[in-house]
Structure 1
Amino acid sequence: MRIRDDRAHEEPELNLVPLIDVILVLIIFFVVTTTFDSRSMLQLQLPSATGEPVAAQARALSVLVNADGHYFVDDQEVLRTDIDALKQTLSAVAGRDRQRPVLLRADARTPHQAVVTALDALGQLGFHKVNIATAPEVKP
């Protein structure tokens, strides 16, 4: 008596649905974990000052000056260090809103001229609410 085995004629198939699910979860994981801080690579050492911290203001325009005197406006890097390039980038990022508060964060080791240039550019464009970020004074 001959027993027929129907499994020999079936072609094996690869179910891709679990593989797609795993890849989708990995993509979502990498997207979420890589967008936490856009300026984490920029190390600033803020100057210290005494006083009470001011509550964070919503929609504040962030102007960063690193130790080399390079400018960053929100997430955009200013390619040149002259005042015209800084004013052009500030105008592009802020638009026509000159009542928007500005938070100027300059490294403690940056040249003083870079900070004065940033303040001058903000003043020429008509920004009046400029705050300078500092770190709390370290007590021995």
Structure 2
Amino acid sequence: MINLEETPELNITPLVDIMLVLLAILMVTTPTLVYEEQIVLPDGSKTKTLSAEQKDLTVIVDAQRKVRIDQSTMSLQELPDNIALLSAKYDKNSAVYIKADKNLLYDDVMFVLKSIKNAGFSKVALQTNG
């Protein structure tokens, strides 16, 4: 005979354990994610690449005129003030590479180049797909 008065008990402890492990994995891996921005670099000539001992500075400008330096993103108008603040962290003799989308106006790329030169950097180069 089957006793109809008994109700089955749900054991949710394994479910909670699995969810806590997944949460811990998510919390550990999220800060290490690096978002790749889609920019189209112009083609250039192929040259040798030099290995650098110093930390180089890379400035990325996308087609929407957003500038990214390290992990900070700014508009094109905010670049001169921000590069002046960020230049204290870098050696003025280190190389600065500008990765600008090929659909940008010439004036925008020259504005970025002028802002970096005014911040005191002397070794500035435009990076291409070559």
Structure 2 length-normalised TM: 0.71
Decide whether aligned partners of structure 1 residues 23 and 65 sit closer, same or farther in structure 2, where only a CA change above 3 A counts. Answer: same
Query: Which secondary structure does the structure 1 equivalent of 2:116 belong to?
Result: helix
Residue number among 23, 28, 33 corresponding to 1:36 in the alignment: 33
Identity among equivalent positions (%) equals: 23
TM superposition shift of 1:72: 1.8
2:99 to 105, 110, 113: 105
Corresponding letter in the other structure for 1:35: T
Q: 1:50 to 1:23 in 2, by over 3 A?
A: same
TM-aligned CA distance change 1:70 to 1:56, over 3 Å: farther
Cα gap change, 1:29/1:94 in structure 2, threshold over 3 Å: closer, same or farther? farther
Separation in 2, partners of 1:21, 1:53: 53
Shift of 1:128: 1.2
Structure 2: distance between partners of 1:92 and 1:55: 28
CA distance in 2, matches of 1:19, 1:92: 49
CA deviation digits over 1:14-58, x for unaligned, max 9? 685x556533432343342673323x2x21000111212524645
In the comparison of the two structures, how many residue pairs are matched?
120
Partner Cα distance (1:55, 1:26) in 2: 43
The unaligned stretches of length 5 or more in structure 1 are 1-11
In the superposition, relative to structure 1, how do residues 111 and 54 fare at CA in structure 2: closer, same or farther (>3 Å)? same
Determine the structure 2 residue equivalent to 1:95: 88
| Counterpart AA for 1:70 | K
AA at the equivalent of 1:105: K
- The answer to whether 1:63 aligns with 2:53 is no
Which structure is larger by alpha-carbon Rg, 1 or 2? 1
Please tell me the root mean square deviation across aligned C-alpha atoms, in Å: 2.8
